[in-house]
Structure 1
Amino acid sequence: MPETKTVEGYDMKQEVFLPDNYSPAEDEPFMNDRQLEYFRRKLMNWKTELMEGSRDTIESLQDGTRNIPDVIDRSSEETDRALELRTRDRARKLVSKIDAALRRIDEGEFGYCSVTGDPISLKRLDARPIATMSLEAQEKHERREKVHRDD
């Protein structure tokens, strides 16, 4: 998180310089300002892409309303719309997970397993920045979930 300094009653955050080719490395302090800024930007870019996709879907659904006389063509279009709406619903849920990850960055909890408190590997966070558990804790959770689901 950028360092915050109070000047005349105002909190002023210092900008974190992040080169374009920056990638978090294991040999630097875990969740330092540069790593946090890297993940913040990655999450914000991902959220922007999802939101733009949602806007495009809404526009295409509004523009695509038409009367199709052929039953098979109409059915096909309705199936496509239902699939698109389901995809958008998944994107909406993903946006809320991204927002939660951004809150964890602001609160200083990002990058740490919610179960064990241990650091989540940088490779895992880079691949899935919304991760809340370490790989080991996630695997244990999924095994437990599978066992209970089979009952």
Structure 2
Amino acid sequence: MPESKQDMNNNQSFTPYQETSGEEYMSNNQLDHFRKILQDWKQDLMEEVDRTVKNLKEEASNFADPADRATQEEEFSLELRTRDRERKLIKKINETLTSIEEDDYGYCEACGIEIGIRRLEARPTATMCVDCKSLAEIKEKQIGG
């Protein structure tokens, strides 16, 4: 499941980037801005993983009642699925940080145009511009359904 704005908005320290007049796209200041967003987001996710491990250890009980045991197992299962999605998101964040270091960040992997500051703030791991992403989703729906 792709990350959502909800995930991004969990980072309370986020401040929209204010471009200066004549500033070049993906300037060092912009790259630093996105690097910080991604690193903070990754840190939040890693802390959530640590909390999950701690909760699973603390809450693990061997209930005598099968219904209680089943409820606990279902809660653990949901928690682990969420963490698995977050693990995949951390991998994507790491890939995005690498693209920043390699000066590939901020440009559509399909057509090469600028993705745009606001789109990247909404979805810092975006690799496609809105038009190419929309086309890809339409193609995916046609093939998949």
Task: Tell me which interval the TM-score lies in, with the shorter structure as reference length.
Answer: 0.7 to 0.9
The verdict on how the C-alpha distance between 1:91 and 1:102 changes in structure 2, with shifts beyond 3 A counting, is same
Aligned twin of 1:89? 84
2:52 corresponds, among 41, 57, 66, to 57
8 A contact 1:113–1:119 mirrored in 2:
yes
Aligned twin of 2:17? 23
CA distance in 2, matches of 1:66, 1:60: 11
CA distance in 2, matches of 1:41, 1:73: 43
Which residues of structure 1 form unaligned runs of 5+?
Answer: 1-19
Where is the helix percentage greater, Structure 1 or Structure 2?
A: 2
SS at match of 2:104: coil
How far residue 25 of structure 1 moved from its aligned partner, in angstroms, is: 2.8
Matching residue's letter, 2:87: R
Matching residue's letter, 2:55: S
8 A contact 1:26–1:122 mirrored in 2:
no
Q: CA RMSD in A?
A: 1.6
Instruction: Percent identity, please.
Output: 39
Matching residue's letter, 1:140: L
2:70 corresponds, among 69, 72, 75, to 75
TM-score by length of structure 2 reads: 0.85
8 A contact 2:16–2:121 mirrored in 1:
no
8 A contact 1:24–1:35 mirrored in 2:
no
8 A contact 2:115–2:130 mirrored in 1:
yes
Count of residues paired in the alignment: 131
Greater radius of gyration (CA): 1
CA distance in 1, matches of 2:44, 2:87: 12
How far residue 26 of structure 1 moved from its aligned partner, in angstroms, is: 7.8
8 A contact 1:114–1:133 mirrored in 2:
yes
Aligned twin of 2:32? 37
Query: Which runs of 4 or more aligned residues in structure 1 lie more than 6 Å from their structure 2 counterparts after TM superposition?
Result: none
CA distance in 1, matches of 2:45, 2:91: 11
TM-score by length of structure 1 reads: 0.82
